[in-house]
Structure 1
Amino acid sequence: INTNTIKHSRSALNSIVRFEAHDSVTSAARFLRYVNEDGKTSLRLRIDQMPEPIYHAKFVERPGLYDPNGVSIESDSPYRKGYFLVRNSDNSITLAQNDGTESFARRATFYKVSGLNDSNHSSYQVYDDPTRYICHSNNGLRAEVVSDYNSRGRATWKVRAENSPKLGDRFDGSSLDTSKWRKGYVWGDSHNYSAVVRDSQVVVDGGELILKAERVNSIQNSKGEWGYWNNIKGRWTSYKFKTGAVSGVSTSGWNYTLFNGDVYLEGSFKLPSEYGFWPAFWLNCKDDWPPEIDIFEYLTDNPRYMYTVFHIKTNGQDNSRTEKYHVGEIWKDYHKFALDWNSEYVAVYFDDHVAFYNNDKNYIKGFYNLYTIINLGVGGWAEEPSGSTNYAEMKVKYIRSFDY
C-alpha cells in the first residue's frame, strides 16, 4: 500500500461512522447494516425505512488490528461489540467476532484510501491483497478486484462520520452554558400557547436541563398582552403559566449554531405526564419562516402518540408534511430522538428506529439556516391543562450533534 494515498488522519479513528453506497441505484440512500437472517448475522445494504434500529448501521473505525496504519471496522451495536468486518477465504466479507488470532487480525485489517470513483469519499483496500477492495455486491459485501467504472463505484463509500461535534451539552454544570444556549426565544417571550417564557423556569441541575411550567394567577408578555388568539383552536386564551424554553444561540454575541444539512442531531428527553402540555424539540430558521423541522411535538392530552412535522415554503406558502406515530407510555422514562439531515434525505428517529423519512430532494432544499429550540408549551395545539394542574416539567439529559 502507498501510505500517501491514505485519505484520513489517525485522529479520525475511533469515530462512529455509517457507510452509504456511493452509487445507489435507487432514489433513497442505502446504508450498510447487519441483519439477522436464519440465525446468522449478515451484512446488507438497506434504506433507513427498514424496521431495524439505526445502531445496526453504525460502526467504529478502529486502528488496524494487524497494522495500526490501517483500519478495522467494528460494529457499534450494543449487541455486536467485538464484531468486525472480515474477509473470508471465498472473498466474502462478513461480520464476525474477534477471536484474538493473528489470522483474524489480518483478515479484519483494511487500508482507507481516497474513493476510487470520487475522491471526496472513501474506498477500503484489503490488507493482504491490494488489488481487492470492499465492494457491495447483490446487497452484500465482497472483496473484489476493481477493474472498471462499475466496480470502482461499488468500491466507493460515502462515510458519514460522527467526528466533528457542532453542538453538544450534557448539562453537567450548575447553570446553562451561555456559549451554546440562550434562555427563551430570540423573538420574544411568548409563542402560540398559554404561557409566557421566563428565565427562572430554565434550570440545570443533577446533569439535566429542566424546563418548568408553573401556574400563575395572571401574567403579561413583553408586549403587555394578557393572552393570545389561538389559531389552532379558534379562540382567545389568557396566559395561565410561566414556562421555560432554550434556543441554540449564545447569550453574548448572538452567535447562532446554524444547521444547513449534513448533520446528525440527537437528544434524550423525559416528557411530562400531566394533561395539557406541548413539549417540543425543533429547528427554526434564523432568517424566515418557514422552513422549520419539528423533530418531535408531543401533546400530553394524546399521550401515546408523537408528531414530526416538516415545513418549507412553496410559492410563498407553508408546505408542511406531518407524521404521527405510536410511542407507548413515553412519559415513564427518558427516550432518544434524532434528526439525520443531508442532501439525499431527512430522517427522524425515535429510540434509534425510523419514525419519519423523506427523500424528496426538491423538498429538502427548502431547509436552511436552522437553529435548535427546546420548549415546554402549555395548551396551544394541546388542550388546556385542568384547573387542578399547577406544575409540569420537561427534562433533557443531553444534546449532541455532528457534521459529516
Structure 2
Amino acid sequence: MRLSKASSLFLVAATCAEAATTIIPNTSFNSQSAFDAEWSYNYPWGTDHNGAARMDQSQVGLSGGVLTLTATPKSGLGGSLKYLSGAIHSKDKFTVAKGGGYDFTGEFKATTTKGTWPAFWLNAASGWPPEIDMAEWKGSGKISFNTFNTSSSVTAKDVNYPSPGNFHSIKCEIRDVNGKDISVKFYLDGSLVTTQYGGDYIGKAQYLIINLQMEGSSGSPGPTGNTQYQVRNLQAVSYNP
C-alpha cells in the first residue's frame, strides 16, 4: 500500500515520539512523593567530595516545584569542612546505548560568588571516567561545560554567565556517534554553546547529580552566610533503542 506524503510524515513523527522515553519527568520536584520516586539524597558514594561542604538531607528543600539546595556555614565538622550543604542524585543510572542517547533539560538559578560551586553533572556509576559536567559554576562569574576522557584529557568551555540572580535554561544532548563514542551538545538559554566528545562512553552507566559544593575549585574563602542553588522543570529523556 502506498502512503500519501502526509501519512508518511505522520508515521515518521509517531516513530520519533515513540523512541523518546521520559526517565525523569519535569514534575519530580512538585512533591515529596514525586521526589522520592526519582531521587536519593547526597552523592551516590556518600556525603563528602572535593570541597569544604558536607552534604546533608536537611539542606535540601522542595517548594512550588523548585528544588533548593542551601549551604550553611558550620563549625565542628572536622578537617577542611566548613559548611553543611545539599546534594541529590538520580535513582536511575544513565547508559548511552548504541544508536541512542539522552536529553537533559532544566532551569537553574546558580550563584557565581567566589567560594561557591553549584553543579549539574553525570558521573560514572563504576570506575571513572566517564564524567560530563552539564553545567558547573566555580565562583568566577562564568559557567563551565566539560567532558572528561581521562583526568588529563578534558574538553572544557567557559563562558560568561549573565544575571546569576535569574533562572537560566540548560540543555545537554548526548548521542552515540559511532557505536563507541558520544557527542555532547551544551545549550544555554536555547543557544548552542559548544559540542564536545567523550571517548568509549557507550555502555557505561552514570548517575545524574545536582549539588552545591563550596570552596575547592571555586576558591576561598567562601561566603559567611547562607548560599542557595535552585532548580526547576528538570527532565531526562532517553532516545536509546
Q: What TM-score, normalized by structure 2, do the two folds share?
A: 0.84
The question of whether the paired residues in 2 share the 8 Å contact of 1:194 and 1:379 is answered with yes
Given the superposition, is the C-alpha separation of residues 348 and 174 from structure 1 closer, same or farther in structure 2, using an over 3 Å criterion?
Answer: same
Q: Secondary structure at the match of 2:62?
A: strand
Residue from 180, 183, 199 that aligns with 2:57:
199
Residue from 183, 203, 210 that aligns with 1:374:
210
1:120-153 CA deviation, whole Å, 9 max, x = no partner?
xx59xxxxxxxxxxxxxxxxxxxxxxxxxxxxxx
Query: What is the rounded CA distance, in whole Å, between the counterparts of 1:160 and 1:319 in structure 2?
Result: 36
Given the superposition, is the C-alpha separation of residues 391 and 207 from structure 1 closer, same or farther in structure 2, using an over 3 Å criterion?
Answer: same
Deviation of 1:318 (Å): 4.5
Deviation of 1:378 (Å): 0.4
Structure number with bigger Rg:
1
The question of whether the paired residues in 1 share the 8 Å contact of 2:112 and 2:137 is answered with no
Given the superposition, is the C-alpha separation of residues 204 and 320 from structure 1 closer, same or farther in structure 2, using an over 3 Å criterion?
Answer: same
Query: What is the rounded CA distance, in whole Å, between the counterparts of 1:262 and 1:203 in structure 2?
Result: 30
Given the superposition, is the C-alpha separation of residues 159 and 378 from structure 1 closer, same or farther in structure 2, using an over 3 Å criterion?
Answer: same
**Higher RCO by CA contacts (8 Å cutoff, separation 6 or greater):** 2
In structure 2, the residue matched to 1:353 is: 191
Q: Secondary structure at the match of 2:138?
A: coil
Query: What is the rounded CA distance, in whole Å, between the counterparts of 1:162 and 1:389 in structure 2?
Result: 48
Q: Which segments of 5 or more consecutive residues in structure 1 lack a partner in the other structure?
A: 4-69, 72-108, 115-121, 124-157, 220-225, 228-237, 250-255
Deviation of 1:399 (Å): 1.2
Query: What is the rounded CA distance, in whole Å, between the counterparts of 2:146 and 2:103 in structure 1?
Result: 17
2:21 pairs with 1:164: yes
In structure 1, the residue matched to 2:165 is: 332
Q: Please, what is the CA RMSD of the aligned residues?
A: 2.7
Q: What TM-score, normalized by structure 1, do the two folds share?
A: 0.52
The question of whether the paired residues in 1 share the 8 Å contact of 2:112 and 2:138 is answered with no
The question of whether the paired residues in 2 share the 8 Å contact of 1:244 and 1:375 is answered with yes
> What aligned pairs does 1:69-108 form with structure 2 within 5 A after superposition?
none
2:157 pairs with 1:323: yes
1:253-309 CA deviation, whole Å, 9 max, x = no partner?
xxx332315111111111125432000000001111111000111023x11x11111
In structure 2, the residue matched to 1:180 is: 38
In structure 2, the residue matched to 1:209 is: 67
The question of whether the paired residues in 2 share the 8 Å contact of 1:259 and 1:371 is answered with no
Instruction: Give aligned pairs, total.
Output: 229
2:151 pairs with 1:307: no
The question of whether the paired residues in 2 share the 8 Å contact of 1:247 and 1:374 is answered with yes
Instruction: Supply the AA of the counterpart residue of 1:371.
Output: Y
The question of whether the paired residues in 2 share the 8 Å contact of 1:176 and 1:203 is answered with no
Query: What is the rounded CA distance, in whole Å, between the counterparts of 1:390 and 1:176 in structure 2?
Result: 30
Q: Secondary structure at the match of 2:58?
A: helix
Deviation of 1:160 (Å): 7.9
> What aligned pairs does 1:63-142 form with structure 2 within 5 A after superposition?
109-112=6-9, 122=12
Deviation of 1:215 (Å): 0.5
Query: What is the rounded CA distance, in whole Å, between the counterparts of 1:273 and 1:342 in structure 2?
Result: 29
Query: What is the rounded CA distance, in whole Å, between the counterparts of 1:340 and 1:295 in structure 2?
Result: 9
Query: What is the rounded CA distance, in whole Å, between the counterparts of 1:177 and 1:208 in structure 2?
Result: 11
Deviation of 1:332 (Å): 2.0
Given the superposition, is the C-alpha separation of residues 257 and 321 from structure 1 closer, same or farther in structure 2, using an over 3 Å criterion?
Answer: same
Deviation of 1:217 (Å): 1.8
Query: What is the rounded CA distance, in whole Å, between the counterparts of 2:148 and 2:234 in structure 1?
Result: 22
Residue from 99, 105, 110 that aligns with 1:271:
110
Given the superposition, is the C-alpha separation of residues 371 and 195 from structure 1 closer, same or farther in structure 2, using an over 3 Å criterion?
Answer: same
Residue from 67, 75, 84 that aligns with 1:242:
84
Which runs of at least 4 in structure 1 moved beyond 4 Å after TM superposition? 158-162
The question of whether the paired residues in 2 share the 8 Å contact of 1:180 and 1:257 is answered with no
Query: What is the rounded CA distance, in whole Å, between the counterparts of 2:19 and 2:227 in structure 1?
Result: 34
In structure 1, the residue matched to 2:225 is: 390
Q: Secondary structure at the match of 2:216?
A: coil
Deviation of 1:183 (Å): 0.4
Instruction: Supply the AA of the counterpart residue of 1:310.
Output: T
